[in-house]
Amino acid sequence: MTQPETTQSTGLRDRLLAVGTVVLFVAGLVVVSQGLSPLAARFGVLLALVIESALAAGAWLTAAIGLGYVLRRALAGPDGELGVGLVAQTGLGIAGLGLIDWALGLGGMLNPTTAWVVTAAGWGGLAWQLGATRGQWNDPERWPTWPWPIIAAAPAAGLLIGATCLAPGGLWSSEFFGYDVLSYHLQLPQEWMRNGAITGLEHNVYSYLPNLAEATFMHLACWFGSAAEAAYAAQMLTAMITLTAATGIGRIVDAFAGDRAGAIAAGVYLATPWTIVTGSMAYDEQAVMALGAAALLTALRGDQSTTLTQDARRGLIIGLLCGVGMLCKLTAAGMIALPIVMVVLIDRRSGARAQITRVITFALGAGVMLGLWMIRNGVWTGNPTFPFATELFGTAHWTPEQVARWKSAHTPDVSLPEAMRLFAARVLGDFQFGYIVWPAALVGAIFGWLDAGRRRVAIAMVLMLIVQAGFWVFMTHHQSRFAIPMLLPACVLIGLMLGGRLTMLGGIIGVGLLTVASFALYLNQREGNAWMYIDGVNWQTKLNYQSPVYLPTNVINQLPPHAKVYAEGYATPLYIQRPITYHTVWDASPLGAALSEGGVTGARQWLIDHDYTHVLIDWGMLSLWTSPGNYGYDPAITRDRLDQLVANVLSPVQRWSTISLYRIR
């Protein structure tokens, strides 16, 4: 009689937990929509956006999981002798489907038909897995259970998912309201769709980065017709991958400190403001984190390899995951790949031969992945690492002046004391890391050291943090966001100190405090009016044209069909539906060349010869770029030259704050 009662009480607990989690998740969505009297209307639109975008993003991610099952069997063996579970499978699937999208895009073969074909193939792998494990699903006693602390992360998950329903350009002041999304994360797929293939674009230097995450956004764009239309789905996919990363962190901690500690560690990661910010935008950080978590878990389970063949397979899996992480974001080389290979190196439980074998196959897997980008860039530009290492491999289509500006902005050029001060201010003291994460990780390291069963993992995580901090200080240009991978070992360390009731309670309180910080950050966006980016127009047209930030787009899209726009200083044309020529701050200005060669008269003739009817000038961005200490701009473009152009060639059409639209006379 005792067992049925236990089962019944457990079932009741699970149901209450599920209900509570859903209620708190929905509460997070409600806070995103804000307001009182129009609350129901805005919340209804937000919910519709969640469902619509989740269907597309979920289709991609489930296909990736299915493909991951095939790759898992091929690389780890059908019997799972490497201890490679669902986390690594999902990581392999994200990597595999991303590579397929990337390859199809490069070959000019990524289109709606092929996008559905590869998705269906992934679903086939998922069906295979479900069929192979149907015995588990037929037996409720074997179903996975949710540790109760997971409920603490539900409001943050609601905020994360809800924030994806604000179109790029609406959220996050730390990211200049999605400037990078509008200028390349989604703008590149937009142009690739028009060009029919992933190509290098001389007016957008970011097209020469690996851009594997952007290839997945192109996959979604194939279903919607354009990257602008797919913006919500791209953000939702990023959010789902963020949840995957949090799950991976939780699973790492679960393996060494139990599932409740794992749930809290996952909650800490999910509730950290930087996670919410980058996880709700079409960014690439969270793909790096998901792949990194899968690679780290695989590395820490090295004791389950008993033969050199298994060691070779393990190292290869870790290397492939880290290598694809680098294809998502190059800084993953020093923030994920290097720290994790250090973890592999210090794992001496299987002997020196096992270590060497794993490192060799790691290098093979990671090297092949990175080599794909280098081959592509070599073919495109003659420089396999363009726009980097130009002094070794050539400057491609750039001038020495462009190279100098790029290097000055992307190479650390401060003294060591100044770099350490920046680390203290932008990482340790940055509000978006939540203040409490780093001290809690330090306490976790101490707890882990004192526990013999967790000491090895604690040492590995501290080593990771040291390597990551060193890379951030010496090899990056010191943006706070570049330190996000440090949350991986930090959250694991936090999980290692959780065990007793008191520490569990402290962990849950920590998740709550971070959640409050993230909601406060959201509610402070757009002077408390972020909700204005959620309304019926937003859902129906994918863009709220009544919002001030989009007014230039609205006017330009209403120009006559034959209109063609040249933009100077304006490099965020994602939503513009008329032909437009733009360039990033790093790239040469075609108008500047015309001004240098023929003055105002020559520039007017150049504009007419190229069928331009209008000129759009972002005076504010030009002033920002050319301000002392900033990146600089094409020296052929000066305020005096533009003033002369406006006075003699252009007639004003409309002005919005610092942006002006002109008609060519």
Mean pLDDT per block of 10 residues along the chain (665 residues) reads: 51 82 93 71 84 97 97 82 83 98 98 98 96 72 74 96 90 92 96 97 98 98 95 97 97 94 97 98 97 96 79 95 98 97 87 90 97 98 96 96 93 91 96 96 95 93 98 95 98 93 90 96 89 59 51 88 96 93 97 95 96 97 90 94 96 92 95
Same domain, 507 and 552: no
Q: What confidence score (pLDDT) does residue 2 get?
A: 39
| C-alpha span between 613 and 559 (Å, rounded) | 10
Give me the phi and psi of 99, to 5 degrees please: -65, -40
Name residues whose C-beta falls within 8 Å of residue 318's C-beta, 6 or more positions apart in sequence. Answer: 295, 298, 299, 340, 341, 344, 358, 362, 365
500 and 557 co-located in one domain: no
Task: Give me the sign of the Cα torsion angle 57, 59, 62, 64.
Answer: negative
Helix or strand or coil: residue 610? coil
Q: Which runs of consecutive H residues, i.e. helices, occur in 196-337?
A: 212-224, 231-257, 259-271, 273-279, 285-300, 308-328, 332
pLDDT at 4: 46
167: DSSP letter: P
Could you tell me whether strands 659-664 and 580-581 are parallel, antiparallel, or unpaired per DSSP bridges?
Answer: unpaired
DSSP state of 372: H
Residue 511, sorted as left (phi over 0), alpha (psi -120 to 50) or beta, turns out to be alpha
Token digits of residue 233: 């789905």
635 part of a folded domain: yes
Do 438 and 297 fall into the same domain?
A: yes
Final residue in a domain of this structure, among 492, 527, 562: 527
Whether 223 maps to a domain, the answer reads yes
Domain assignment present for residue 606? The answer is: yes
Q: Quick check: 166 and 79 in contact, CB under 8 A?
A: no
Is 206 domain-assigned? no
CA nearest neighbour of 460 among 424, 488, 497: 488
Judge whether 447 and 492 are in contact, CB under 8 Å.
no
Q: Which domain holds residue 186?
A: 2-141+150-201+211-395+422-527
- Total domains in the fold of the chain: 2
Question: Parallel, antiparallel, or unpaired: how do β-strands 580-581 and 565-568 relate?
Answer: parallel
Contact 217, 282 (CB under 8 A): yes
22 and 116, same structural domain?
yes
**Structure letter (DSSP) for residue 605:** H
Taking the C-alpha atoms of residue 249 and residue 291, their distance in angstroms, rounded to an integer, is: 11
Out of 473, 496, 527, a domain closes at 527
CA atoms of 207 and 582, how far apart (whole Å): 14
Residue 605 lies in a domain: yes
Closest-CA residue to 659 (of 626, 613, 616, 615)? 616
Residue 46: inside a domain, yes or no?
yes
549 in the same domain as 481: no
Q: Is 8 exposed, middle or buried (0-12, 13-18, 19+ CB in 10 A)?
A: exposed
CA dihedral 125, 131, 137, 143 (to 10 degrees): -40
Do residue 487 and residue 555 come from a single domain? Answer: no
Per-residue model confidence (pLDDT) at position 142: 60
Total-model pTM: 0.94
Residue 274 is encoded by which pair of tokens?
């930087």
Strand partners, 204: 201
Question: Distance (Å, rounded) from C-alpha 67 to C-alpha 117?
Answer: 13
Domain assignment of residue 589, yes or no: yes
Specify the pLDDT at position 79.
63
pLDDT in the model for residue 139 = 61
Element (H, E) at 580: strand 580-581
| pLDDT the model gives residue 45 | 82
CA distance 634 to 622: 10
Q: Could you tell me which residues come within 8 angstroms of residue 518 by beta carbon, excluding any fewer than 6 positions away?
A: 156, 159, 271, 272, 273, 276
If asked whether residues 473 and 612 sit together in one domain, one would say no
CA-nearest of 611, 599, 571, 575 to 587 is 571
Residues 71 and 183 both lie in one domain = yes
Close Cβ partners of 64 (under 8 Å, ≥ 6 residues apart)? 90, 93, 94, 96, 97, 98, 122
Report yes or no on 427 lying in a domain: yes
The verdict on 517 and 556 lying in the same domain is no
Give the three-state DSSP class for 77. Answer: coil
C-alpha distances in Å from residue 523, one per residue of 22, 80, 331, 504: 22, 46, 31, 29
474's enclosing H/E stretch is helix 455-475
**One-letter amino acid for residue 114 of the chain:** T
Q: Which of 527, 558, 579 is the last residue of a domain?
A: 527
Do 174 and 277 fall into the same domain?
Answer: yes
Distance CA 441, CA 420 (A): 19
Q: Which of 582, 580, 610 is nearest to 594 (CA)?
A: 610
Do 432 and 578 sit in the same domain of this protein? no
Element housing 140 (H / E): none
What pLDDT is stored for residue 386 in this prediction?
A: 97
- CA separation for the pair 658, 665 (Å, rounded): 22
The whole-angstrom separation of Cα 495 and Cα 28 is: 24
Same domain for 581 and 468? no
655 φ, ψ to 5°? -130, 140
**Strand order across the 650-656 sheet:** 580-581, 565-568, 614-618, 659-664, 650-656
Alpha helices in 133-230, H assignment, sequence order:
134-138, 154-163, 179-180, 187-195, 212-224
